[in-house]
Amino acid sequence: MKYSFVISSILLSTFSTTLAAPVNPTAAAASADEGDEYIIVLAPTEQRPWGQVFTDMGYNMTSRAHDISINKHSFGTNYGDLRTFGKEFRGFTTHMKATDAASLASLPNVLSIEKDVKWTVKVTRNNDTYGTHSVGDNKWAWPNAKRQLQQNELNQVWQQSTAPWNLARISTAQALTSNGREVIDLKFNYQFERSSGLGVDVYMLDSGINTAHADFGGRAKMVFTAFGSDITDGHGHGTHTAGTVGSTTYGVAKNVNLLGVKVLDSQNAGSLSSFVAGVDFALSSHLQRKTQPGFKGSIINMSLGGPGFAQPLFEALQRATQAGMHVAVAGGNDNTDSCQFSPAQFSQLLPIINVGATNVVDQKWEGSNFGKCIDIYAPGDGIVSTSNKGPQANEPMSGTSMACPAVAGAMAVELFKNPSLDPAALKKLIVSKGLSGTLQGGIQGPNLLLNNGLRAVG
């Protein structure tokens, strides 16, 4: 996942949650200002109906509002050229000039205002080298997958001998040896707890999920889209990351509920406003789910990001973590300081886990970002997981996008055992179980590799 900045730079350059009004442009600049798309986030105290809010702001509300949702897949409502989002975190987007943005920022019911941006999430697809494969005979049979677990089975430790290398690496203390195996072979050993992730919801903010893939065992479903009625995964990035979190063959936590939140299109690109709306949807869903029987916790996996400090996204994730949601984010793939990117840099301010990527010989993957904002590294090079190409297809990909869901899966494993852990406590636990000093090649930042503590032989 390599980030590339597509639209204009972000207005905010501080960590403040309140935006200072932009400097007024000169008359010449104002006359040339054709406007931009902006994200306006309302203060938490502003709870009035949208019509009243917009009328007070001076918008013409003669255009009839129309809902742009399909079933549960809701992005918001259009009021003319205004597009609302959020239930727990209220905001809207609109096209306006910088002078109008400055005026709007001064209103007491506006928390922040910022130009919307579009980020393209790039990932290294290894098909040119390895090709697209079918699970075929390598598919690991999960016995009685739909049967409810008995109490005496919950703490059982199982071993999978048909695992990809990344799963083997996080369940052993020793470096992997080839023993005639290729990186993409499903011939590695993975030890895991039978209960892994049972009752945990993982919201995949990504390009969607191929929910028809056999390896999800019916546990994956789409719950949100920022693209009208499109809930398909046209790229494959989202299906791949979901597979690493919790598919039967390729997943860390093989019992989790995988919830697709589509915020990236078929080019793996999406807007900042869509990401914020996706977080808000996950938060709203979490607040409903937390009172239901069997619920163990909620995790947001964000294998995406872009440069700069994205204030609306920070505010959304801050509210999510305050509500008890756990978050794993990708460190970025520019081989530079991860602190330059969002949401990666939020790990210094919020109890979220920022993940860098390693290769099969325990070195930092060549494209992975690094630095103090990285909390832990996980395998991210040549990772085989579920594909959007069919119900049994798999595909190898590389990037911090592939490392991040391994951490999300590990978080789900721990949440089943102790659902009372708050985000800060779970982050501390995941970090404490990591292998220290294992990584080679001059790691900048924490020399810490994800591990589940079972210490199998890979």
Specify the residue for token string 């919790």: 246
User: Which residue of the set 73, 237, 286, 326 is catalytic?
Assistant: 237
Catalytic residue among 74, 247, 274, 401: 401
Count of C-beta atoms within a 10 Å radius of residue 399:
29
What pTM does this model have? 0.88
| CA–CA distances in Å: residue 420 to residues 10, 74, 296, 324, 326 | 37, 30, 8, 9, 12
User: Does the annotation mark 362 as catalytic?
Assistant: no
Would you state the structure tokens that stand for residue 96, as one six-digit string?
């306006």
Per the annotation, the verdict on 185 as an active-site residue is: no
Tell me which residue has tokens 């011939």. 187
The DSSP letter of residue 74 is E
Per-residue pLDDT of the chain (458 residues; tens, 9 = 90+): 433 322 222 222 222 233 333 444 444 444 456 789 999 999 999 999 988 998 888 886 655 444 433 334 456 677 667 888 888 889 999 988 999 899 999 999 999 999 999 999 978 887 655 444 444 444 444 444 444 666 666 678 999 999 999 999 999 999 999 999 999 999 999 999 989 999 999 999 999 999 999 999 999 999 999 999 999 999 999 999 999 999 999 999 999 999 999 999 999 999 999 999 999 999 999 999 999 999 999 999 999 999 999 999 999 999 999 999 999 999 999 999 999 999 999 999 999 999 999 999 999 999 999 999 999 999 999 999 999 999 999 999 999 999 999 999 999 999 999 999 999 999 999 999 999 999 998 888 899 999 999 866 66
Clarify whether 326 is annotated catalytic: no
**Which of 74, 133, 201, 206 is labelled catalytic?**
206
Query: Domains along the chain?
Result: 2-117 (no CATH), 122-449 (3.40.50.200)
CA proximity to 365, closest of 165, 190, 173, 189: 165
Question: Which residues, in sequence order, are CB contacts of 117 under 8 Å at separation 6+?
Answer: 5, 6, 7, 8, 10, 271, 272, 306, 310
